[in-house]
Amino acid sequence: MQLGRMRAKNFYDRHLFLRPNSFSLDLNVGFETFDPKDGDEGIDMLLEWIRRMSPDGGRLKKAVHEADFVCWRGLLTKISSSVYNKEEGWIVRAIRRKDVIFMMEEKTETAKRREANQTEMAKRMSYWGHKFEHYVTKDDDMEEPDTTGPVTTKEEYAVVCRNDLLTDSRLQPDRRSLGILYSGEVDCLDKYGNLIELKTQKGPTNAYFWSSHKSLKWWLQSSLVNADTIVVGHRSADGKVEALSTIKTREMPQRCSWNFRACFDFTSTILTHIYNCLEREGDACVVEFNTELGLHKGVKLRRTSADTCDFVSQSFLEKYT
């Protein structure tokens, strides 16, 4: 792990100013040599960041900026988008350690089957997003992107954020808000140092896109890390990008049919339930959401033993009080 912005990629904006169909970025190039990261690393990298930022140890609550929860951005995105996602459920494991609740997503059986039975085309389409980044990002010391080497996801640039979420007052009248420390990968920076998210989209961003779960997910991912610009590569069915456009994250709620407040209200209810459940050191729980049963009946929370939520290592915890 390297702290700071020095390894962050910069956005290469040349194609943004070219006429549509005057260029073609083939997202299939290099698929055979793709070098993805190995498996699921849990929250180890986030714990390592906390450790690096507080090398002398001390009070863990202070080390996480007085947050009540620690997790990845992706988990917050998944929970928040559940209001409009009718296809994908989720499982969250949570454990309380030294007055901080750590959360981690667990793959559902449906997700495991989908991953095991992934078609060659599905794998290729997943690769396309990484290849698009390859074409439109560059290192500080380069005039333009180096697209000759293999695409790899083993090196990422991430930011860590701390935000407050209002509690569900029906469940927790004594606390106004819950603090969350979370981290998420970001794709690149513009010339002013602002964060940019990169996305690919088949065809234009039409009315269907603006009413879809996909647009909500883009907004959540970007707004949670304060990335106000999304650069979209408009691709063909066979993976050729021939136009680029930009979307301002802050303007998306006005154009879309979803209500982001409903999303955050749902997340507030889930986190307040978890907070109320985990009252003592070592308490652990599992929360599962089944889309087939709907928002209210589909959420199940149960207590579990701490050894089933052992994703926070003892070597990390022993440094803190």
- Are 78 and 90 a contacting pair, CB within 8 Å? yes
Letter string b/e over residues 216-228, b meaning 16 or more CB atoms within 10 A of that residue's CB: bbbbbbbbbbebb
Predicted pLDDT of residue 206: 86
Given the DSSP bridges, would you call strands 25-26 and 90-97 parallel, antiparallel or unpaired?
unpaired
Q: Where are the domains of the chain?
A: 10-317
Residues 152, 131: Cα–Cα separation, whole Å: 9
**Global pTM exceeds 0.85:** yes
- pLDDT of res. 1: 80
User: Residue 96: beta bridge partners?
Assistant: 101
The conformational region for residue 308 under phi > 0 = left, psi -120 to 50 = alpha, else beta, is alpha
Single-letter amino acid, residue 196: I
Cα distances from 39 to residues 43, 201, 241, 264, in angstroms, run 12, 26, 29, 30
DSSP state of 39: S
Cα-based angle 273, 252, 206 (whole degrees, multiple of 5): 120
Identify the pLDDT of residue 294: 82
Distance CA 290, CA 275 (A): 21
When computed from its CA atoms, the radius of gyration of the chain, rounded to whole angstroms, is 21
Three-state secondary-structure class, residue 115: helix
Contact 27/128 with Cβ under 8 angstroms? Answer: yes
Q: What is the pLDDT of residue 68?
A: 98
How far apart (Å, rounded) are the C-alpha atoms in residues 158 and 188? 10
Element housing 162 (H / E): strand 158-166
Q: Which two tokens stand for residue 98?
A: 């030294």
pLDDT tens, the chain, 321 aa long = 888 888 899 999 999 999 999 999 999 999 999 998 877 779 999 999 999 999 999 999 999 999 999 999 999 999 999 999 888 899 999 999 999 999 999 999 999 999 899 999 999 999 999 999 999 999 987 889 989 889 999 889 999 999 999 998 888 888 889 999 999 999 999 999 999 999 999 998 888 889 889 999 999 999 999 999 999 999 999 999 999 999 999 999 999 999 999 999 999 999 999 999 998 998 999 999 998 888 878 999 999 999 999 999 999 999 999
pLDDT of residue 121: 94
Residue 38 in tokens: 């190995």
Q: How far is CA 208 from the centre of its chain?
A: 23
